[in-house]
Amino acid sequence: MKQPSPVRLERIDEYRLRIPREGAMRSEGLIYADHTTEELLKGDNSPQQVANVACLPGLVGRSMAMPDIHWGYGFPIGGVAAFDIDEGIVSPGGVGYDINCGVRLLRTGLREDEVKPHIRKLVDRLFTEIPTGVGSRRKRAKVSDGQLRSLLQQGAGWVVKQGWGRASDLERLESGGCLPDADPDALTPRAMERGLDQVGTLGSGNHFGEVGVVDEICDPEAAALFGLEVGMVTFFIHCGSRGLGHQVADDYMKSMRGTLSKHGLDLPDPQLVCAPITSKEGREYLGAMRAAANYAFANRQMITWLARTVFSEVFGRSEDDLGLDVVYDVCHNIAKIEDHLFEGRKRTVCVHRKGATRAFPAGHPEIGEVYRESGHPVLIPGDMGRYSYVLVGTDQAMDESWGSTCHGAGRVKSRAKAKKDLKGRQIDRELAEKGIYVRAASRRVLAEEASEAYKDVADVVNVVTGAGIVRKVARLRPIGNIKG
């Protein structure tokens, strides 16, 4: 397959850019971007990655990217692409290394004025009880080999069965917190080994646990359905499948490289290694990916239990009295088999969302009953110094973006550059002056994850709301954060 020509970006409207179909591209590309985002794309390789994805076999519709787009492995971060179930491929690079990295939001019955006097104690206890950082391990609640297999098949439901959660939690998780057809036998022994003691850990990088406050309601009706109101204290969890998911991705990227010629696949970028969905390799990867996704659901469920325990301890009240109910849990590094209407007929496709989030609107059959009439909450975290958002999907998202939207702010500086540019700054002190108390595994992490390293999430959200694929429901402001 020939490499596409250097990409041209053509503006469609205020919120969309087109990459014209050229060379080996099977379809055009579409990037959700305003003029500010367009400027940031200059000199960045991510538009080329959008074009490269458009060369893959079985692509249905356009190769797309959200406004939090930046360079990733194979697919860009923010990439969305759907492939025909019979003729298309599945690509580990289209899912990412941190399989089912995602976010969960809890709401509490606490108000900001109740929490502020205790924020240091609360954050310190969360930091102590929820292991963070590279290679972090659970101090307790480890799982055995047999239990791990059950967890990989049952996801968050397995954690709830152990008494570390509420049955009602599962009603408010994407896919009920469990992907069917997960196959633990498709994981290597090394992947299984890495998963034994990392359930209930945040890990490193941009993963976090954040104490926030609802400071603006944009859609009162939807906010009421989601149980959100101004002044309410919340807890945001951002993490994924830890070392187990990373190992699954690495194992299948390596093994699929050896089968490309067997399947007649000639790729514009070797990082787009893939296999036909119907092939043995494709089926095995999907089984392993689903198992890793279930591990991530279980991980966020375990952290929910730990957070509830800490809140109860710090405030001297029962979990039921404090609330700490799940608002929702969404995935943003995943490939899912879904039915969609495309050009007037039903198509079964494998939708890759890498750094992108589902945004299914009211009435969609895959939404649990609790949110069927409203559409499910779409959770968009920002950075530790600014805002996060709760959105809801629209019918236009189903027509245009496979029911997908952005997943966060998106980096504008690499971790190395952020660390270099912010050398000598005391990020924790700067955040404290804004009323945000932060604990992190190291000062290096604070520099790498500072606000300057990211786009302003408000700008990103304005693009997807302006494009009509989501609506704003509420805005959250951080008051405390734990980082790995």
Sign of the CA dihedral running 100, 102, 107, 113: positive
Q: Catalytic annotation on 340? A: no
Choose, from 70, 207, 376, 407, the residue flagged as catalytic: 407
- Please give the full DSSP string across 33-102, using - where no structure is assigned: --HHHHHHHTT-SHHHHHHHHTTSTTEEEEEEEEEEEE--SSSPEEEEEEEETTT-EE-GGGT-SSTT-E
Rounded CA separation 47/308 (Å): 42
Helix, coil or strand: residue 19: strand
Burial 299-333 (b: 16+ CB within 10 A, else e): bbbbbbbbbbbbbbebbeeebeebbbbbbbbbbbb
Beta bridge partners of 16: 13, 32
Residue 2: CB atoms within 10 Å: 9
Rounded CA separation 472/465 (Å): 7
Rounded CA separation 157/164 (Å): 10
Nearest to 252 by CA among 284, 276, 280: 284
Beta-carbon contacts of residue 313 (< 8 Å; ≥ 6 apart)? 125
Rounded CA separation 432/480 (Å): 9
Nearest to 291 by CA among 355, 245, 238, 243: 245
Gyration radius (Cα) of the chain, Å: 21
102 close to 240: Cβ distance less than 8 angstroms: yes
Amino acid at 11: R
Beta-carbon contacts of residue 154 (< 8 Å; ≥ 6 apart)? 161, 178, 294, 298
Q: Six-digit token pair at 100?
A: 């089912």
Percent helix, strand, coil in the chain (nearest 5)?
Answer: 35, 25, 35
Beta bridge partners of 454: 411
Give the active site residues.
407
